[in-house]
Structure 1
Amino acid sequence: MELISKKGIEQLAEKAVDLILSGDSEGALHVLKPVLDVKCPFAKLDTLGRQISKVGTKTDMPKFFETFDRIIDYNAMGGFVIVGQSLIHFLPDAFDKVMEKSREYIIKGDVWYVCDIIGERSLGHALVNHFDTTVPWLKKFLDDDNKWVRRSVGVSIHSFSKRIVDQPEKTKVLLKLIEPYLEEKQIDFVKGIGWGLKTIGKHYPDILVDFLKPHMKKNISTLLVRKAVTYLGEEKKLEVLNT
């Protein structure tokens, strides 16, 4: 398949939407297979996801979610991008449903890149646009039995922190949220939390230093610390490491 154009994305979305609204989720999946079966830039897949979901209403939402389930079950990387982006549209009307489906799809994907794709899209946007409602969900995710669901918290914090760089009090809330989990050793979880801390350090180095210093005598993973201090200047990095 040749690289799809912007116009091609729009036409593909229109075909998929017509089938979704008619209740033909299998037909919608079939229409999307040409982009699911090849390597397609994430930016185009994100556009496709937005184009598909933008006409979705609360009334016809079940038809969209049935199609999302079909796309996820097809298990193509691009499908997770399309669905992760599409879920964002339904956050205002079906917040809890989107969070539940995000968790479900992360578990079904069962690999780091699916966790990160969903974490940066539906979960990250939930945190950006519905902060107070999302934080309790992230607390539940931190205690989830699934390692990828737990990792997604760090990914969503990363996503939030690269977009919201002028609300330090919210950043402090997120640091407080993950504080009890700093001594965790599960590698995938550590990488996720470390990613979130790294991005916080890029925009709020002083806040990150003040947060890390009291915990440096604890049994914190070396990997977590290394990731967390990535963007700190040498002086601040030493301030943390020499505590």
Structure 2
Amino acid sequence: MNQIYFTDQIIKLGHMGGYVISAIILQLRMEKHFEQSLNKAVEYILLGNEWYVCDIIGERIMGYFLLKKPEKTLPILKNYINDKNGWIVRSVGVASHYAVKKGLEKKCVEVTFCLLLSKTDTKDFHTKKGIGWALKTISKFYPDIIQKFESNLLANPSIQPFLEKNRNWPK
């Protein structure tokens, strides 16, 4: 518990580097304190209330947890994708980007891809950026997943902005 007190104190300072240090500490607690670390990650994202806080925490905690324990993390991300706070929704995209580029199993990438597609109709700029970042990463590393869903992608008007910006997606 002293680690949480320590990370809370670092976060209170409000420095960008403090988010990195706190995220790494929470990452190291994954095995014994999985849920508590994710809950703290959400708390820190909400406290930080900035895109860079969401990205630092989202990659290093949610993304790392998704990569290392996808079966445990995916159900939680399914809840986060529908959160009322845009930063928490964005964190799902950031986490997905990180996990995919670091080698997330293909079967989990496909589940993640479908999860992200459920939010392509978002109007929030920052949320759209996080989701788009992950979709772009998936298309780079797994173009076959994009091809598998090609007809659905082309038929969905909310996907069009993502298609126009990404050369790996069907036209």
What are the residue-to-residue correspondences of 1:1-243 with 2, within 5 Å?
A: 62-164=1-103, 167-220=105-158, 222-227=160-165, 229-230=166-167, 232=168, 237=169, 240-241=170-171
CA distance in structure 1 between the aligned counterparts of 2:129 and 2:164, rounded to whole angstroms: 10
Contact 1:80 1:118 in 2 (8 A): yes
Structural RMSD (CA) = 1.6
Letter in 1 for 2:8: D
CA distance in structure 1 between the aligned counterparts of 2:159 and 2:125, rounded to whole angstroms: 9
Sort the Cα spacing of 1:107 and 1:200 in 2 relative to 1 into closer, same or farther, 3 A.
Answer: same
Contact 1:120 1:156 in 2 (8 A): yes
Letter in 2 for 1:207: I
Report Cα offsets for 1:137-156 as digits up to 9, x if no partner. Answer: 10111111111111000000
TM-score between both structures, scaled by the size of structure 2: 0.93
Sort the Cα spacing of 1:77 and 1:226 in 2 relative to 1 into closer, same or farther, 3 A.
Answer: farther
Letter in 1 for 2:29: F
CA distance in structure 1 between the aligned counterparts of 2:159 and 2:69, rounded to whole angstroms: 31
Count residues in correspondence.
Answer: 171
CA positional deviation for 1:224: 2.9
Letter in 2 for 1:168: K
5+ long unaligned stretches in structure 2: none
Contact 1:84 1:117 in 2 (8 A): yes
CA distance in structure 2 between the aligned counterparts of 1:187 and 1:223, rounded to whole angstroms: 12
1:115 match: secondary structure: helix
Report Cα offsets for 1:91-144 as digits up to 9, x if no partner. Answer: 110110011000000011101011000111011110011101100110111111
Q: Please, which moves more after superposition, 181-190 or 155-164?
A: 181-190
State which structure, 1 or 2, has the greater radius of gyration over its C-alpha atoms. 1
5+ long unaligned stretches in structure 1: 1-61
CA positional deviation for 1:202: 1.1
TM-score between both structures, scaled by the size of structure 1: 0.66
2:156 match: secondary structure: coil
Sort the Cα spacing of 1:212 and 1:220 in 2 relative to 1 into closer, same or farther, 3 A.
Answer: farther
- Taking CA–CA contacts closer than 8 Å with sequence separation of 6 or more, which of the two structures ends up with the larger relative contact order? 2
Letter in 2 for 1:201: S
Letter in 2 for 1:81: V
CA distance in structure 2 between the aligned counterparts of 1:224 and 1:185, rounded to whole angstroms: 13
Contact 1:71 1:83 in 2 (8 A): yes
1:185 match: secondary structure: coil
Contact 1:161 1:199 in 2 (8 A): yes
Contact 2:90 2:127 in 1 (8 A): yes
Contact 1:197 1:208 in 2 (8 A): no
